[in-house]
Amino acid sequence: MAMAWASSSSSSSSSWDQDGQKIDSCVVKLATSDDALAIDSNQTFRLTVSSDPYPNCLVEADNMYGAYYGLVTLSQLCDTSNTTSPSILEARIRDEPRFAFRGFLLDTARHFLPVSYIKRVLDVLALHRYNVLHWHVVDSESFPLQSQAFPDLAEKGAFSPDAVYKTEDLADVVQYASRRGITVMPEFDVPGHGSWGKGYPSLMGCKDVLDPTNPEVYTFLLTFLKEMLEIFPSEYIFLGGDEVDTSCWLKNPEIAEWLQQHDMTDAELFDYFWQNVTSEVIPGLEGRKVGVWQSNKLDIKPTLLPEGSFGNVWQDPKMMGPVIDGGMPVVLSGTYYLDQDNSATAAGPCKAYAWQQTWKCMYQEEPFDQLTQEQWSSLIGLETTMWGEGVNRFDFEARVWAKAAAVAERMWSNQNVNDVAEAQVRLDRHICRLNLMGVHAGPIIPGFCSSDVDGEAW
């Protein structure tokens, strides 16, 4: 990628070169002072750490986000094996991400996570160059998000009055993330997976599924989502759409009668819902693009959504092709479910591994293998997902890292960086680095890190 380089700012950090000579600062040069954040922002950087002709460090980037990743790489050049005599490797690096969209799903509906802990998550994500936080903030179990327009959503839907993200909390998370180059993409799953009915039962067609035949549903969604747009500036808003038991509508006498009057099946009612969302809700969302889940059944026909929408393929990676052929770009998450012991594919290679080695199947997955070369450009990125049914803040990091670190390397690095044996050496060293930073990442092989005997790291 051709770049024009000009100095506009600088910063410094202390470290040492291999000869024991101190590097007093690291100069950061930016081509622009523009700090506008977008998922496809230019994140290319150049990093130089050299002792010739004198110890020096230089990061060059188009913007602050590329520079941030350069400084992250600088930290990875530090040798953590000898804490009494730290050193840093000399290097000349030019780097850029393979995928523009490098996502991580955080689920706060099944177990509430305090804002302070979400910030901790964001800090570690930024270290791994993730740039999208897919915040699965609500689900059928709880609605821990405050809405000024619809206060009963949280008042009646949250686990506890203390387990609610207030408007200022949401804005705080968004700002904290953006300073680390991370876009927060909120998810409000419709028409299923919903706790909408705890506060507003008239919207529901059955327990967890909205009533598509009720015109008030679309008015409600437009009002609620427009309120959320004031908090979340993300170019994407995620509307879910997965795992809807449409047969439940048939058990609702009013909906069943409506279907009979309109000569429509429950499956057709699902399509009718998305047609109305596209015609009555999305036009009022100020140009925001929509993301939805796509399973092996291709639940949501791509033609039902406006241009620019994307599908997150959460089951077999082979479904990426049909979604793309239907006219919708994709993000792949199906292979990267961190709560699972084996791959989403039926013959996933993880089944042969001990739990601490399951990162290998995720690392070995080459998403382009499931696509024709003509389809490659429609794969906009990858996403790891940490569903919250069996995880809270006390075991989160051990469950997430190191698998999410392994996937992060495949998200960022060239396609040919895929050797598992070489990756294991890097990952083992990296986990020790994380442990020394106080991150409770789990080990992948037997070994020793100085944090094992350093109680202060915990």
Catalytic residues: 243
Q: Which of 163, 120, 118, 131 is nearest to 145 (CA)?
A: 163
Q: Cβ(359)–Cβ(402) under 8 Å? A: yes
**Contact of 245 with 296, CB cutoff 8 Å:** no
Residue 204: other Cβ atoms inside 10 A: 20
CA distances for 73 relative to 11, 96, 371, angstroms = 15, 11, 31
Residues 6+ apart with CB under 8 A from 231: 167, 170, 171, 174
Residue 170 Cα to chain centre, angstroms: 16
Please list the alpha-helical segments (H only) found in 115-205: 115-127, 152-157, 167-178, 196-199
Kindly report the number of other CB atoms within 10 A of residue 276's CB atom.
Answer: 18
The H or E element containing residue 228 is: helix 215-229
Tokens 């009718």, located at residue? 272
Write out the two tokens for 162: 């203390």
Q: How far apart are CA 60 and CA 64, in angstroms?
A: 10
Q: Is 313 helix (H, G, I), strand (E, B) or coil?
A: strand
Please return the burial class of 225, using the count of CB atoms within 10 Å of its CB with bins 0-12, 13-18 and 19+.
buried
**Closest residue by Cα to residue 136 from 179, 184, 177, 174:** 184
Q: Give SS3 for 185.
A: strand
Cβ distance 137 to 145 under 8 Å? Answer: yes
Both tokens of 336, joined, read: 């990267």
In sequence order, the 6+-apart residues with CB closer than 8 A to the CB of 452 are: 435
